[in-house]
């Protein structure tokens, strides 16, 4: 679907509530499916990725029912049953990698399949540690479909080269079923939703700096309320900062410090952002964000430990940085090439078409600020939801209308995206 976006001639204003966090929604269904007892999950994501996870656990024999569109009841005895048909993870890397960890520890075999994009994404990063734990996994040269021969696992002490929450979570989940202790150490702390939620559900899990250790544990079902997704809020934060005269409130945004890197960056750029009503929900910090148009943003360097805290926000940060004063340099983000698209290559090719001055680097990109966004071009979203939404934000300040091909991919994480934008216009 081709979406046309025109420059808006007034500021964004009002108040919106951001829908559920994708990472936490996945984990809520997964962990309550392997916990014993009944629970209610409130504010579950309506994104297609989280529904892939939900359908997989139904297929694995867990009773999951919708009470309403965003409320689930999960009823499990903590065990899973073999599925005789393949488990379809769709477009979702999180589903594939985390579910693989769980399935490696079962006493049955499973096959995980996915769409074209998912089938290109690297799975060696989980096959290698799971194999060290004793799992037997067949893949197509390190890619899905994955055949997981479930069986007995042993704990490992694993040092990951990547700061990846998906890799860390996969190993920790396998560790719940392994003999002895399992420790994962990462170069930098990646998002810690797995640690927080496993702890909330009673797992034996300990964090020590960049290391996390888990022991075999039985989880106890507990109601979970999912906070709003900061990665979805990011599109609104960027838009508010660059659309002249904007001033609005984004309610119910998850503010977990391992995820909220965009807020640190906006402050580094001297953007006008403030946090209100901070509180806690099912173990996760949450609050409201006020964002205002900020004419004098500064470019900055984003690197090292910043990266895992805002990895999914880098496409929209590229658009934001195009309006700052001076250069913005993004380094150490090579894993952006392994997301739903090669986000470095695709960002550079598409943003260049509309007049943004962006240079490709192996591990990131450099943006020259105060780029005039000319627009007047059709951009390709490469089946990547976050690229489609980032281009939409650029379109709001482009001189000439832009077109976005494949805009329907926003349904992967944020089907409500455009409806919410319209509320602020
Ligand atoms: C996710 C972790 C990140 C992120 C993805 C969701 C998660 O991936 O890009 O959208 O829920 O654990 P990596 O941890 O592999 O970088």
271-330: pLDDT as tens digits: 999 999 999 999 999 999 999 999 999 999 999 999 999 999 999 999 999 999 999 999
**pLDDT for residue 170:** 99
Query: What is the per-residue pLDDT for 75?
Result: 98
Domain boundaries, the chain: 2-20+227-424, 22-225
Does ligand 1 have an atom closer than 6 angstroms to the CB of 91?
A: no
pLDDT tens track for 361-420 = 999 999 999 999 999 999 999 999 999 999 999 999 999 999 999 999 999 999 999 999
**In the structure, what pLDDT confidence band is assigned to residue 141 with cuts at 50, 70 and 90?**
very high
Catalytic site residues? 312
Per-residue pLDDT, averaged over 169-174, amounts to: 98
Task: Give 156 Cα–ligand 1 centroid separation in angstroms.
Answer: 22
Which CATH class name applies to 22-225?
alpha beta
The answer to whether the bond into 145 is cis (omega within 30° of 0) is yes
Cα separation values, 294 from 13, 373, 423, Å: 14, 17, 21
For ligand 1, say whether the CB of 166 is within 6 Å of any of its atoms. Answer: yes
Q: How confident is the model at residue 196 (pLDDT cuts 50, 70, 90)?
A: very high
Please report the pLDDT score of residue 386 as a whole number. Answer: 98
Residue 190 CB–ligand 1 contact under 6 Å: yes
User: Does the C-beta of 312 come closer than 6 Å to ligand 1?
Assistant: yes
* pLDDT category of residue 131 using cuts at 50, 70 and 90: very high
pLDDT level of residue 186 (50, 70, 90 thresholds): very high
pLDDT of residue 286: 98
Confidence (pLDDT) at 147: 98
**Which strand (E) or helix (H) includes residue 48?**
helix 48-59
- Residue 113 contacts residue 88 (beta carbons within 8 Å): yes
Mean per-residue pLDDT for 112-135? 98
- Averaged over 1-29, what is the pLDDT? 98
* Residue 333 contacts residue 344 (beta carbons within 8 Å): yes
CB 245 within 8 A of CB 276: no
Candidates 193, 226, 311, 384: which one to mutate for ligand 1, based on the most atoms within 8 Å of Cβ? 311
Class of domain 2-20+227-424: alpha beta
Query: What is the reported pLDDT for 182?
Result: 99
Dihedral of alpha carbons 5, 6, 10, 11, sign = positive
pLDDT band at 112 (very low <50, low <70, confident <90, very high): very high
| Count of beta carbons in the 10 Å neighbourhood of residue 240 | 28
% of the chain exceeding 90 in pLDDT: 100
CA–CA distance, 293 with 354 (Å, rounded to integer): 22
Same fold, 2-20+227-424 and 22-225: yes
Q: Calculate mean pLDDT across residues 217-223.
A: 97
Question: Beta-strand (E) ranges in 226-348?
Answer: 247-254, 272-281, 284-292, 301-302, 327-330
Which residue reads 């490992």 in tokens? 156
Contact criterion met (CB below 8 Å) for 305 and 332: no
DSSP states of 136-161: EEEEETTEEEEEEE---EE--EEE-S
**Alpha-carbon gap, residue 274 to 288, rounded angstroms:** 8
What is the C-alpha to C-alpha distance for residues 281 and 369, in angstroms, rounded to an integer?
Answer: 38
Mutate to test the pocket of ligand 1, among 20, 89, 91, 93 (most ligand atoms within 8 A of CB): 93
Cα separation, 339 vs 407, in Å, equals 17
User: For residue 13, what pLDDT is reported?
Assistant: 98
Beta-carbon contacts of 382 under 8 Å, excluding residues fewer than 6 positions away, are: 340, 341, 346, 406
Which of 375, 381, 368, 371 is CA-nearest to residue 399?
A: 375
Q: Is 186 in the pocket of ligand 1 (CB under 6 A)?
A: no
pLDDT value of position 412:
98
Compute the distance from residue 313 Cα to the ligand 1 centre, in Å.
11
| Whole-number pLDDT of residue 87 | 99
**What does the mean pLDDT of the chain come to?**
98
The token pair at 375 is 């627009």
State the pLDDT confidence band at 59, using cuts at 50, 70 and 90.
very high
């Amino acid at each position: 679907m081709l979406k046309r976006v025109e420059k808006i001639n007034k500021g964004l204003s009002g108040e919106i509530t951001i829908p559920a966090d994708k990472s936490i929604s996945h984990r809520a269904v997964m962990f309550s499916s392997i916990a014993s007892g009944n629970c209610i999950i409130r504010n579950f994501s309506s994104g297609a990725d989280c529904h892939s996870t939900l359908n997989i656990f139904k297929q694995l024999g867990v009773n999951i029912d919708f009470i309403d569109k965003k409320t689930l009841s999960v009823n499990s005895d903590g065990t899973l049953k073999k599925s005789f048909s393949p488990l379809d993870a769709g477009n979702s890397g999180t589903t594939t990698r985390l579910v693989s960890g769980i399935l490696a520890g079962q006493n049955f075999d499973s096959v995980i399949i996915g769409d074209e994009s998912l089938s290109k994404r690297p799975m060696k990063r989980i096959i290698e540690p799971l194999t060290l734990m004793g799992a037997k996994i067949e893949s197509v040269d390190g890619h899905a479909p994955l055949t997981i021969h479930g069986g007995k696992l042993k704990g490992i002490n694993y040092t990951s080269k990547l700061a990846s929450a998906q890799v860390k979570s996969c190993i920790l989940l396998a560790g719940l079923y392994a003999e002895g202790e399992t420790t994962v150490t990462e170069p930098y702390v990646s998002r810690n939703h797995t640690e927080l939620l496993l702890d909330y559900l009673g797992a034996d899990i300990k964090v020590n700096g960049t290391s996390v250790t888990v022991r075999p544990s039985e989880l106890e079902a507990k109601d979970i309320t999912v906070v709003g997704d900061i990665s979805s809020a990011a599109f609104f934060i960027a838009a508010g900062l660059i659309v002249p005269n904007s001033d609005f409130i984004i309610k119910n945004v998850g503010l977990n410090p391992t995820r909220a890197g965009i807020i640190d960056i906006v402050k580094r750029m001297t953007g006008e952002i403030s946090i209100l009503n901070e509180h806690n929900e099912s173990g996760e910090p949450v609050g409201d964000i006020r964002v205002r148009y900020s004419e004098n943003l500064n470019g900055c360097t984003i690197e090292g430990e910043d990266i895992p805290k805002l990895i999914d926000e880098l496409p929209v940060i590229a658009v934001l940085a195009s309006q700052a004063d001076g250069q913005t340099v993004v380094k150490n983000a090579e894993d952006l090439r392994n997301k739903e698209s090669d986000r470095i290559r695709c960002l550079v090719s598409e943003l260049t078409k509309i007049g943004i001055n962006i240079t490709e680097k192996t591990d990131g990109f450099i943006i020259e600020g105060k780029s005039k966004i000319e627009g007047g071009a059709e951009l390709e979203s490469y089946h990547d939801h976050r690229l489609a939404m980032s281009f939409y934000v650029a379109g709001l300040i482009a001189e000439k209308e832009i077109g976005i091909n494949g805009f329907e991919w926003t349904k992967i994480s944020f089907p409500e995206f455009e409806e919410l934008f319209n509320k602020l216009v």
